[in-house]
Amino acid sequence: MCVRTGKRRCIAGVLAALLLLGPAAAGPGSDRPRLAGLRLVDALEQLREAGLPLVWSSDLVPDSLRVLEEPDGATPRERLANLLAPFGLVAEPGTGGLLLVRRAPVLVTGVVVSSGTGAPVPGARVETLSGEGAATCGRDGRFSLGGLRDVPLRLRVSAPGFLAREITLAVGRGRHGVEVTVVLAPMPLLRREVTVHPDGADASAGPASQGRVLHQDEIGSTPTLGPDVMRTLPLLPGLTAPDNSSRVLLRGAEPRDVTYLLDGIELFEPFHLNGLQAPFSLVDSSLARTVRVLAGPLSADHGDRLGGVIDIETRQPDVPFRVYGSAGTLESSATAEGTSPDGRVAWLASARRWYPGEWIDTVEAGVEGLDPTLDDGFAKFSWAATPDLVVFGRALAGHDVVRFSSPEDPDRIEARSRSRYLWGGFVAALGPRTIVRTTLYQARWSTRRDGSGEIDLVGDLVTVDDARRTSGWGVQQDWSSTIPGRATIRAGWDFRALRTRFDYSRTAIDATGTTTSRLDARLAPDDRSLALYAEGSLVLRPGVVLSGGLRWQR
């Protein structure tokens, strides 16, 4: 306040203050220089001439940047902040009272998922190669990493049991946040502490209806007859298997009501010697990374089966090149695997031969003169084309030959069966929250039984030739999207086409060489099916989740 005796002195002080503060203090109608249309470097020069001690580098402020809109602000500092914001820059105090023009910090958020299943990878580690920051993924596989300035951003993502990846993120000017989905490929031979229980399984894991996941070390540490992944499952609560068989019964359901999945594709009767109790499966336990057993209420994508689901995910190679094998009294195997120098391509091939000569006598149909030969093989490859796209291919095959002959009578039987599965596709991340998996598959099964034998009492020699072939192909696609901590949505479709051919002939010849009877039958049925499904879950409040699903199949 100005007193009467110092009125002239007070007016002079106010005028001096107005001159020092310039146009900002004079109000909106003052004549301050316009910055719109200038190069950014020229606009900064004008603010520096107005009294702001600005310092910047030509790397951050090149001559090509131009101010498009007039920055608002009541003070030079406010105008400066609004001037720099569209270019992703900020002014921060430095030493000696200087204002340093720096890149605005960037926030990176995203999710880490598995390339094999598309499921989140909790506990994954995300860190910058520059050492600016690091974060750990939560249960939903999501992470948040802020305060990053060293662009382009180079991140390293790693998790126990997965191959580490390095990705580069380009951050455009004016962007303060980036969302990304990182797809990690599983690595083989996950080494963990193994707890040994007297019964061979951890009963504390809960009933199978809640779902149980067995890892590679648990599968490998369980004593079984041969390296068969299916034979480890009956040790879990709620799962049983017939004697000398690898077929699993879930909750007492029939074997035909159980769905077997290998890397996302359904396998039909994936066993050796299906007509002799199916003692072994086609899947080598050393190739399995995880086995997930679902015996409770099934989701919509598995709604066409009532018994349960056995979902096997094979391991991913993580070495440049390796060849190894094994030999035993029951089977022998050989495996080769490797990766490309940059780690983007991985491949694996394995083959087995079973020779259960002595063991076959213990099965229900085991008799002297029965000679089986069993072979199977598996191959896979994956290619990380981009950080958000993985291309994959798989092949599984099995071959059985069973011969029977008796020196005491003319009975002779030979049975052959073949099965082959080929499938491939891609897993793509559409943004940070949506995963799409598309698969094209083809399968073929064939059995042929022929033989001759003498019918008791009648004495006729009967010759039988029975050939059955089934082939099919299909396409399936699965979409999954998550809203962290709020909702999960899945939807997809599955188209299948099958064609079967039966050729059967039987001829009876008496002792004189005359044909007494003959029967020929030919059948060629085919079938096509289409299934659509959708399911989701919504968190209403902590501890309360609403979930449901719908499936249509024809």
pLDDT digits (tens, 9 = 90+) for 168-183: 887 655 556 778 888 8
CB of 169 closer than 8 Å to CB of 145:
no
User: Taking all residues of the chain, what is their mean pLDDT, rounded to a whole number?
Assistant: 79
Check residue 201 and give its pLDDT.
Answer: 40
User: pLDDT tens for residues 32-58?
Assistant: 677 888 888 888 888 887 778 888 877
Q: How far apart are CA 193 and CA 365, in angstroms?
A: 41
Q: How far apart are CA 215 and CA 224, in angstroms?
A: 16
Question: Range(s) for CATH 3.55.50.30 in the chain?
Answer: 16-103
Q: How far apart are CA 232 and CA 310, in angstroms?
A: 12
Check residue 189 and give its pLDDT.
Answer: 40
Strands (E), 194-281: 212-215, 239-240, 249-250, 258-262, 265-267, 271-272, 280-281
In the CATH hierarchy, which fold is given to the domain comprising 16-103? Phage tail protein beta-alpha-beta fold (3.55.50)
Question: Range(s) for CATH 2.60.40.4130 in the chain?
Answer: 106-184
Check residue 442 and give its pLDDT.
Answer: 96
Q: How far apart are CA 126 and CA 141, in angstroms?
A: 11
**Helices 40-49 and 76-84: crossing angle, nearest 10°?**
170
Residue type, 298: L
User: pLDDT tens for residues 241-263?
Assistant: 766 777 877 776 777 778 889 99
Q: How far apart are CA 78 and CA 90, in angstroms?
A: 11
Using a CB cutoff of 8 Å and minimum separation of 24, what contacts does 127-136 make? 127/155, 127/156, 128/153, 128/154, 128/155, 128/156, 129/154, 129/155, 129/156, 129/166, 130/154
Q: What is the pTM of this model?
A: 0.64
Q: Is 541 exposed, middle or buried (0-12, 13-18, 19+ CB in 10 A)?
A: exposed
| C-alpha pair distances (Å), 357 with each of 187, 283, 402, 465, 526 | 36, 20, 11, 26, 38
User: pLDDT tens for residues 305-326?
Assistant: 677 888 899 988 888 899 999 8
Among 40, 41, 90, which Cα is nearest to 67's?
Answer: 40
Tell me the β-bridge partners of 59: none
CB of 189 closer than 8 Å to CB of 388:
no
Q: How far apart are CA 44 and CA 523, in angstroms?
A: 85
Find tokens 């890397």 and name the residue: 263
The class of domain 106-184 in CATH terms is mainly beta
Check residue 194 and give its pLDDT.
Answer: 41
Q: How far apart are CA 546 and CA 214, in angstroms?
A: 28
| C-alpha pair distances (Å), 396 with each of 39, 114, 258, 351 | 64, 22, 19, 10
CB of 463 closer than 8 Å to CB of 509:
yes
Which segments in the chain show pLDDT lower than 50? 1-30, 188-210, 362-366
- Please state, as a whole number, how many other Cβ atoms lie within 10 Å of the Cβ of residue 319: 12
Check residue 121 and give its pLDDT.
Answer: 87
Q: What is the DSSP letter of 298?
A: P
Strand-strand pairing, 308-314 and 258-262: parallel
